[in-house]
Amino acid sequence: MDRKIKDVEEKFRRFIYDDDEEEDIGVQIELDAPNLPVVWGRTGTGFRIEDLKEEHFEEVIEMFKEHYIPYEVLCRSTNLKDDDVSLESYINRLVFHFRGMTSIIAIDENYEEDEQEKYYNRILPKVKIVGVLITRIVQKIDYGRIFSRVQLVHGTAMKQCIGLRAHISRKIDLFAKFNCESFLRYYDLCILPEYRGDGLGHFMLRCGFNIARSMNVPLVMGLFTNTALQQLAKQLGMETLFEVNYSDWRDLEGEVVFNNPGKGNYTCALMAGLVPVQLKRSVSKSKEVLKKNTSKTAVKKKGK
């Protein structure tokens, strides 16, 4: 096994969160079963957050194709799903980030297989993935590598999306501003439609801070393309450092590129927040919101 991977796993095993009153934040690790995923938190309402393992890559990719790419602001505005070259480039980029070993998934622990599913999944029990947060540690020493910033970008739609993201990212030197050597970057957050609006996305973003803390990374950042995500980030103490109005971003012919951002979405914002030694309870509303909406989620699923 690669030495760097061993070091990362060792950091996971050493990390202990000392808030013993809440179930929703912490890391649970089976020391005698190192191949099991790290559990970053449980909501107390039936959701478990754990690291993304390779056996789930395919399922997560299909989840993004169906529930994320057709609706995300930049992808929708450029019709990325209909641009085969761009779509392939997007998926390749996803897999590249998967292998950074910091992405997490949300599991519905209340999910029960029917008899037919049990028959086809006799070897390993099937889990219900309901959310994915794609993250990656960005190191100052690696920031300019061509592989991660250029070679994975192909297709007209993909280049338009990355063009805006790259423009915003270049406006702020996070390493200099925060005097750090690395930061954790949020790339994409995908929640299944029937699980949205109940605080799960907020909870997953919060777990991202735990991941950063466990790896001694002092900063979390992300480019948030819609108002809902920007509000979630603010609730976690992240601040807007730079943003671009979609109506102002135009191509060489002067045409607005992202002309379908959706109601209430006006900007793409670079936001960042320092990782506290311990997350304050007042910062997170995840557990409260999840409990409040548990019955609503149950009604949604029952009505399907």
Q: What is the pLDDT at residue 127?
A: 82
Q: What is the pLDDT at residue 37?
A: 72
φ and ψ at residue 294, rounded to 5 degrees? -60, -45
pLDDT digits (tens, 9 = 90+) for 173-228: 999 999 999 999 999 999 999 999 889 999 999 999 999 999 999 999 999 999 99
Q: What percent of the chain has pLDDT over 90?
A: 63
Residue 30 has pLDDT above 70, yes or no: no
Total-model pTM: 0.78
- What is the SS3 string spanning 162-188? HHHHHHHHHHCCHHHHCCCCEEEEEEE
Q: HSE (CB half, 13 Å, CA atoms) of 235?
A: 19
Q: What is the pLDDT at residue 116?
A: 52
Distance CA 61, CA 103 (A): 13
Q: Residue 111 — very low, low, confident or very high, per pLDDT cuts 50/70/90?
A: confident
Q: Are the CB atoms for 97 and 149 separated by under 8 Å?
A: no
Q: Structural domain tally of the chain?
A: 1
Residue 3 has pLDDT above 70, yes or no: no
Q: Residue 6 — very low, low, confident or very high, per pLDDT cuts 50/70/90?
A: very low
Highest mean pLDDT among 87-101, 145-159, 281-295: 87-101
Q: What is the pLDDT at residue 88?
A: 96
What six digits make up the tokens of 233?
């980030």
What CATH number does residue 271 fall under? 3.40.630.30
Residue 36 has pLDDT above 80, yes or no: no
Q: Residue 44 — very low, low, confident or very high, per pLDDT cuts 50/70/90?
A: confident
Average pLDDT, rounded, for the chain: 81
Q: Which domain holds residue 194?
A: 3-303
Residue 289 has pLDDT above 80, yes or no: no
